[in-house]
Amino acid sequence: MSRFIQLHLLTAYPPANLNRDDQGSPKTAKMGGYDRLRVSSQCLKRTWRTSDMFQTAVGDHLGTRTKLLGLDVYNKLLEGGVKEKDAKEWTKAIAGVFGALKKADKNDPLAELEIEQLVHVSPAERAALDALTTKLVAEQRPPEKEELNLLRVREQAVDIALFGRMLASSPAFNIEAACQVAHAISVHPVVIEDDYFTAVDDLNNGQDDMGAAHIGETRFAAGLFYAYICINRELLIKNLDGNTELANQAIRALTEAAVKVAPEGTDWDNSDTANRCLSSATACLYGICEAAVLAAGYAPAIGFIHTGKPLSFVYDIADLFKFDEIVPHAFKIAAKNYSNPEREVRLMCRDVFRQSKILRKIIPTIEEVLAAGDLEVPKPAEENIAPAIPNTESIGDVGHRS
């Protein structure tokens, strides 16, 4: 068998949001001068290695990627009767083997037990960790220096052998990836579409309110994706300590998962109140920014940072105001656990926008941004008509329009 095994896959997906960006929109990439749909290699690898198909095929040879090893050890020490102060110190010594720990946080007493970066831990390393924790509980003592040699180069998990591992604090235990996965790209240009949807309450008889029980908006696109996978079989066998049978098993499992398992395309977590508040506040900000962009005569689709979307320029401008105008207030609403947080956020946005007079800021900000790029600001149209009775000062208070 040849050293390298290459897989070239063409997969068609119907309208969906397989892999979203920070705006909740399907990810894209510019290729050949056109915007194309993209599914990141990280998304693909996680989809495959966590699939039931892959996990069933490789059995107990799977690793665990986590930052929470320390919390697991800490809880087991407490359950074993170790004093809280001792459990915390022993845990920091153990978890620190796998990576730098987070800094202490007075608002989160256990923050310093978490590892700063995700670490991929093999079953052999996890077994050694569990055995040490059990021993410390039984003997009620702190770990000794030689007992903290928990990392392993041999007895690697299949997913670590395939996709590699990097430990900045312990480079001797890094594993070179035997499998390269490229981003999946659509073979044709795409346009991201907006899906405005509603849900009807079956028990609403319409006597008091004919409106929908839920209103939402999401983005989607359809495409034919090209994906490329390259497996270095010799390196995979080396990473698995010469276990050719396990390496072949891993190749079969990965190939079958790549062909049969698709990204779930999950949207933002609807159960997360902070996400719901941020999404609702961002939607309000986009609305007022779009109104200003259109009123000033700019094209909302021609953006600089965001591209390939109907409101790219609106997103660019909104990002200039987002963290000052809405993010802190959205988190305050989320912290109060309202029954209908979206409504509270919309009311909050109404008041904040009026108080900050954001509409007066947006167009001058656009002109300032364009001036920084030496772009000419468009002149008013000749047929433009000025207000018949201009108001030099506001005649309304915070709760009313000027």
Tell me: the pLDDT tens digits for 55-102?
999 989 999 999 999 999 999 999 999 999 999 999 999 999 999 999
What kind and span of H or E run contains 35? strand 34-39
The mean pLDDT value of the chain amounts to 87
Q: What is the homologous superfamily of the domain 273-372 according to CATH?
A: CRISPR-associated endonuclease Cas1, C-terminal domain (1.20.120.920)
* pLDDT given for residue 370 in this prediction: 82
Say how many C-beta atoms besides its own lie within 10 A of residue 39's C-beta: 25
Q: Which of 171-175, 213-217, 370-374: highest mean pLDDT?
A: 171-175
* pLDDT given for residue 399 in this prediction: 44
pLDDT digits (tens, 9 = 90+) for 142-152: 999 999 999 99
Pairing status of strand 184-186 against strand 64-66: unpaired
For residue 233, pLDDT beyond 90: yes
Q: Which amino acid is at 201?
A: D
Task: Determine the Cα–Cα distance for residues 173 and 158; give it in Å rounded to an integer.
Answer: 15
* pLDDT given for residue 270 in this prediction: 56
pLDDT digits (tens, 9 = 90+) for 29-52: 999 988 899 999 999 999 999 999
Name the 3-class secondary structure at 231. strand
pTM here is: 0.68
As a dihedral over the C-alpha atoms of residue 86, residue 91, residue 97, residue 102, rounded to 10 degrees, the angle is: -110
* pLDDT given for residue 372 in this prediction: 77
What is the 3-state secondary structure of 44-57? HHHHHHCCHHHHHH
For residue 300, pLDDT beyond 70: yes
For residue 371, pLDDT beyond 70: yes
For residue 269, pLDDT beyond 70: no
Q: Which amino acid is at 373?
A: G
- Tokens representing 63 are 């690793």
User: Tokens 């890094």 label which residue?
Assistant: 174
For helices 84-95 and 69-79, angle between their N-to-C axes, nearest 10 degrees: 150
Domain limits, the chain: 4-61+160-260, 64-156, 273-372
pLDDT digits (tens, 9 = 90+) for 160-211: 999 999 998 899 999 999 999 999 999 999 988 877 777 888 888 777 777 6
